Chain A
């Protein structure tokens, strides 16, 4: 990554350079609310991640320019904190909690099996970009251990079966969805 701090005018964030992105306004608003102060960096990166799902290099450059902080510092903050991700997430996200109560409740074994099933490690996305598997340090839902978050919804008292079912549901639901959209690869099985 080049160390230069791009000026705001030069940086057109990548996802859709042609059309001005509405999501950019949310980020601008956050920075404006904090008076473009350099201490708003973490708040701004939260806004970026919420709007775009991850921290895109061009967007980091954009934020660096606007807040007048070195790009190296933006990158340092983005990689220091676990909450931020530099990779685009998959269509669905499965977060398994690895807190103490969940560990005692057998979360490690569930994680191991799910990693094997999806063929990815925690923190990665499946090759078909369908499912991101993440771990959380503690969701604070220890009363429901082992717990996880499936596309933003907390689910408690997980077993290997419930997790596997959920993941398969995502896969097959999306297959149905494609079918109905007439985008099915297996033509003879489409209605």
Chain B
């Protein structure tokens, strides 16, 4: 039996009716952040307490995805009361259930008018914390798979691509390549076999946007991939996901199974000739596999080593076939664009950076967690209003965006709008969305060394500039942080940065010098203090400590 729109609406209605038959819906976050603070135990004790108080008919406990504010987990929210609780423990269950009809439990209350929530605009994360990631019915009740129906039944592939192009969506994996253009190239390729690949190899240390989307709303990714498959003419898709994200893998597996059972994946989807199948491929811990040609090699079961481009994967990709590779967040934007139109999406953000961006706030910031804001939101608003500022009364020093391929944005640019161009102008990149906030306790030379060590050990070794260059750069940085460097080393450092950036084969090597270049640009005085005075102002580098000890 093929699925019809009526079936879909019926599923949505049943789900909504069942939910509304409960007076209170208690949503417990079961994404990795809250799970590791014990939210599964909280969920169990809430269910137990409901049984004990005989309120099974009035209350339903739901396992939902990421509520965003990972810093104060486990989080729960209760609809329709619009009450949210933070740091909930299993022992709080009696109070929470008991207070449903009265005043909320004040000691656990998380103000819902908190700027962390009120300043955000959610498109990619709109279902996170709302739908139950392990139940396809819940996704359908939130309007899920309607966009796929619309695309398959009411639009031609060309129209879908036109919508994506009109939206101005750019790749969220880091480089910001126009998504519509990429889709058009694959669409135009004259070959029977084509593939869609979702890049979920979120390797940037300090970024967890994709993990949260996969854990909280896996069906959104499946729907986006199916629409992409229809648009470019592919009938098979692969999700390349990190093995380090076991929960995301488990939920994706379940979601794919449910989608196949229901018929939104498989043959003749929505009674059309379109067929689409998705398989998972696990990464095995190689950062370089985020580079698209290396990722393809890895799906093919080979060493994850990149090859020269062109030919680009859009023409010659997986098994030599035209392949569309998009990042998780890019794909998660597709269903809303199809549903509401490209013009709607293009109305959000700045002139050249459309839509929203998900950032993972981490480091020295009060409200660590996941946020989504319109492109062009000033950095100050993100760090101080949404992020709640720097803990322990310390001073903001810089944020690092784009991880090992990115750069730092120092305090003088706090009022800069966060978009692709502005970030590029100051020597950083948008990257995938990792945003590490550093206070005055961070040593920028140490940060540069940290990223260079990362690039050095993640270099696949195929090309000499990257394999040897990153090791040389790391060696110099190590000498500087140990207090053994000479002033000429700065010139060598700069020269090597240019060489490695210009001569490396793939993005890993080409961008590896960025953290060094950017810290040199804004914090050269720190490099000088290490070299000339053997002094680490932040007290991070060992020689700084040694000096203090002897003082």
Contacts of B370 in A (CB 8 A): 143
Q: Is the beta-carbon distance between B304 and A100 smaller than 8 angstroms?
A: no
- Please choose the segment from B100-108, B350-358, B434-442, B464-472 that sits at the chain A interface, where 4 or more of its residues have CB less than 8 A away: B434-442
Q: Is the beta-carbon distance between B303 and A77 smaller than 8 angstroms?
A: yes
Least Cβ distance of A36 to chain B in Å?
12
Residues of chain A at the chain B interface (Cβ within 8 Å)? 37-43, 45-46, 69, 73, 76-77, 80-84, 98-101, 103-105, 136-145, 147, 153-156
- Count residues of chain B with CB under 8 A from any CB of chain A: 54
Contacts of B282 in A (CB 8 A): 42-43, 46
Contacts of A69 in B (CB 8 A): 301
Least Cβ distance of B412 to chain A in Å?
21
Closest to B287 in A: A137
On whether A141 and B301 interact (CB within 8 A), knowing A104-B438, A136-B244, the answer reads: no
Give CA–CA (A38, B361) in the complex, Å.
Answer: 41
Give CA–CA (A141, B301) in the complex, Å.
Answer: 28
On whether A43 and B281 interact (CB within 8 A), knowing A140-B244, A143-B208, the answer reads: yes
Contacts of A81 in B (CB 8 A): 283-286, 304
Closest to A137 in B: B205
Least Cβ distance of A166 to chain B in Å?
14
Closest to B72 in A: A143
Q: Is the beta-carbon distance between A142 and B360 smaller than 8 angstroms?
A: yes
Closest to B288 in A: A80
Q: Is the beta-carbon distance between B436 and A42 smaller than 8 angstroms?
A: no
- Please choose the segment from B3-11, B33-41, B262-270 that sits at the chain A interface, where 4 or more of its residues have CB less than 8 A away: B33-41
Q: Check if B450 is an interface residue, CB within 8 A of chain A.
A: yes
Q: Is the beta-carbon distance between A140 and B211 smaller than 8 angstroms?
A: yes
Q: Is the beta-carbon distance between B302 and A142 smaller than 8 angstroms?
A: no
Q: Check if B362 is an interface residue, CB within 8 A of chain A.
A: yes
Q: Check if B400 is an interface residue, CB within 8 A of chain A.
A: yes
Give CA–CA (A103, B403) in the complex, Å.
Answer: 13
Q: Check if B517 is an interface residue, CB within 8 A of chain A.
A: no
Q: Check if B376 is an interface residue, CB within 8 A of chain A.
A: no
Q: Check if B203 is an interface residue, CB within 8 A of chain A.
A: yes
Least Cβ distance of A159 to chain B in Å?
15
Contacts of B284 in A (CB 8 A): 42, 45-46, 81-84
Least Cβ distance of B235 to chain A in Å?
18
Q: Is the beta-carbon distance between A80 and B208 smaller than 8 angstroms?
A: no
Q: Check if B482 is an interface residue, CB within 8 A of chain A.
A: no
Contacts of A140 in B (CB 8 A): 32, 202, 207-208, 211, 242, 244-245
Give CA–CA (A155, B450) in the complex, Å.
Answer: 23
Q: Check if B92 is an interface residue, CB within 8 A of chain A.
A: no
Q: Is the beta-carbon distance between A99 and B243 smaller than 8 angstroms?
A: no
One of B70, B73, B450 near A100 (C-beta < 8 A): B450
Q: Check if B331 is an interface residue, CB within 8 A of chain A.
A: no
Q: Is the beta-carbon distance between B304 and A80 smaller than 8 angstroms?
A: yes
Q: Is the beta-carbon distance between B363 and A104 smaller than 8 angstroms?
A: yes
Q: Check if B117 is an interface residue, CB within 8 A of chain A.
A: no
Residues of chain B at the chain A interface (Cβ within 8 Å)? 32-33, 35-37, 70-71, 73, 202-208, 211, 242-245, 281-287, 298-304, 360-364, 368-370, 400, 403, 434, 436, 438, 442, 447, 450-451, 454, 458, 460
Closest 3 CB pairs of A and B: A143-B70, A81-B284, A100-B206
One of A101, A103, A155 near B36 (C-beta < 8 A): A155
Contacts of B70 in A (CB 8 A): 141, 143-144
Contacts of B303 in A (CB 8 A): 76-77, 80
Give CA–CA (A105, B460) in the complex, Å.
Answer: 28
Contacts of B203 in A (CB 8 A): 137-138
Q: Is the beta-carbon distance between B301 and A101 smaller than 8 angstroms?
A: no
Closest to B71 in A: A143
Q: Is the beta-carbon distance between A143 and B205 smaller than 8 angstroms?
A: no
Give CA–CA (A186, B126) in the complex, Å.
Answer: 60
Give CA–CA (A139, B362) in the complex, Å.
Answer: 13
Contacts of A80 in B (CB 8 A): 286, 303-304, 460
Contacts of B207 in A (CB 8 A): 138, 140, 142
Contacts of A145 in B (CB 8 A): 362-363, 368
Give CA–CA (A37, B208) in the complex, Å.
Answer: 33
Q: Is the beta-carbon distance between A42 and B363 smaller than 8 angstroms?
A: no
Contacts of B204 in A (CB 8 A): 138
Contacts of A38 in B (CB 8 A): 301
One of B35, B285, B363, B451 near A101 (C-beta < 8 A): B363
Q: Is the beta-carbon distance between B298 and A42 smaller than 8 angstroms?
A: yes
- The 9 listed contacts between A and B (C-beta, < 8 Å) are A100-B363, A101-B205, A101-B436, A137-B244, A138-B205, A139-B244, A143-B362, A144-B37, A145-B363
Apart from A42-B281, A83-B285, A156-B37, list 14 A-B contacts with CB within 8 A: A37-B301, A38-B301, A42-B298, A43-B281, A83-B243, A83-B244, A100-B363, A100-B403, A100-B436, A140-B208, A142-B360, A143-B360, A145-B363, A155-B36
On whether A142 and B298 interact (CB within 8 A), knowing A43-B282, A147-B36, the answer reads: no
Give CA–CA (A41, B205) in the complex, Å.
Answer: 27
Least Cβ distance of A45 to chain B in Å?
8
Give CA–CA (A142, B212) in the complex, Å.
Answer: 12
Q: Is the beta-carbon distance between A39 and B208 smaller than 8 angstroms?
A: no
Q: Is the beta-carbon distance between B286 and A101 smaller than 8 angstroms?
A: no
Least Cβ distance of A69 to chain B in Å?
8
Contacts of B360 in A (CB 8 A): 142-143
Least Cβ distance of A80 to chain B in Å?
5
Least Cβ distance of A111 to chain B in Å?
13
Contacts of B286 in A (CB 8 A): 80-82
Contacts of A144 in B (CB 8 A): 33, 36-37, 70, 368
One of A40, A45, A76, A141 near B208 (C-beta < 8 A): A141
Give CA–CA (A78, B454) in the complex, Å.
Answer: 20
